[in-house]
Copies of this chain bind each other. A is one copy, B any other.
Amino acid sequence: MSKSFNVVGVGNALVDILSHVEDQFLAEHGVEKGIMTLIDTDRAVELYSHMGPAVEISGGSAANTIAAIAALGGKTAYVGKVKDEQLGRIFQHDMRAQGAAYDTPLASAGDGHETGRCMVLVSPDGERSMNTYLGWSEFLAPADIVEAEMADAEWIYLEGYRFDGPDSHAAFQKAITATKSAGGKVSVTLSDPFCVARHRAAFRKMVREDVDLLFANEHELKSLYETEDLETAIATARAECETVACTVGAKGAHLVQNDLRVHAPTEATAVVDATGAGDLFAAGVLAGLCRGADLLTAGRRGCVAAAEIIGHIGARPEADLKALMAEKGLMG
């Protein structure tokens, strides 16, 4: 049976506010380099008041992945909450303009929350330190999950970050049940080692019971299984779910699927802004699998997509991703 969507993503709908900073700025303002920190309204206002001029680009981890799969020619949809005002409508526009279906109702402008935003401070070495005010995206609830949409997806892609919210575990469960009941598969990204630490038991249970494809970087995977040894973590994960794709920074990615294990190398590129590298890796892999690519080809597609995104500011593709894949012989 042919489904309407290759991949439906669920995550934090955020607009990125990107600014270049010296490392000294991070130290002065107590920003932890290289990770994502959740911040409240007061901290968001305070940090923004000290930030330099910025650029705004739609972001959100799973949203970046879904936008990139759409750019690669995949049929996608996205679920995430923004507010009915200018920034929220910009997010909505960018998702739809990329070709993804996006029908989560805009939250009423009268309510107290704002559209979520992520202040991304980019250091001279390209590393990004993310400060996220979740705003409306935190309140994703089961009612926002349309079961028919999930049932019409080959894959759903769940963003680990979205575990930080009162109703989100239930929303994820509803999405998983609707997808699996209709023969679809479930992929999840662990998102962040600290996010994993906050929700370790829930992640472990979900991976064991529901996940077909697990995305993680080495730090996240080690955090999930509370080990310092990456091979131990990979072995544990592969015992629990069908496919595991673990990125290892500049060394590329390890992918395992049942008895098969492959390594995809990174593409040579200058790092301008690391924002979205993991999101685009997942996009390349998922879009590849949906096209019937073998595991190594899918992994290589992930590395090509990641290389494109770290070569410029922002986590939405600027180059023609399909043309890039074709150049590398990865569209076959």
Contact = CB atoms under 8 A, between A and B. Distances in A.
Contacts of A314: 55
A240 to B, nearest CB: 36
Interface in A69-115: 85-87, 90, 93-94, 97-98, 114-115
Instruction: Output the residue of A20, A55, A93 with the most chain B CB within 10 A.
Output: A55
Contacts of A56: 55-57, 90
A116 to B, nearest CB: 11
Interface residues of A, number: 26
Contacts of A115: 86
B57 A94 contact: no
A87 B55 CA distance: 12
Contact of A86 (B55, B114, B318): B114
Nearest to A89: B48
Contacts of A243: none
A67 interface: yes
A58 interface: yes
A94 B58 contact: no
A94 B316 contact: no
A54 interface: yes
Interface in A34-61: 48-49, 51-58
Contact of A97 (B51, B86, B87, B114): B51
A108 B48 CA distance: 22
Interface of A: 17, 20, 48-49, 51-58, 67, 85-87, 90, 93-94, 97-98, 114-115, 314, 316, 318
Q: Which 10 A-B pairs have the closest CB atoms?
A: A56-B56, A86-B87, A53-B94, A53-B97, A52-B97, A53-B98, A55-B57, A86-B86, A53-B316, A85-B85
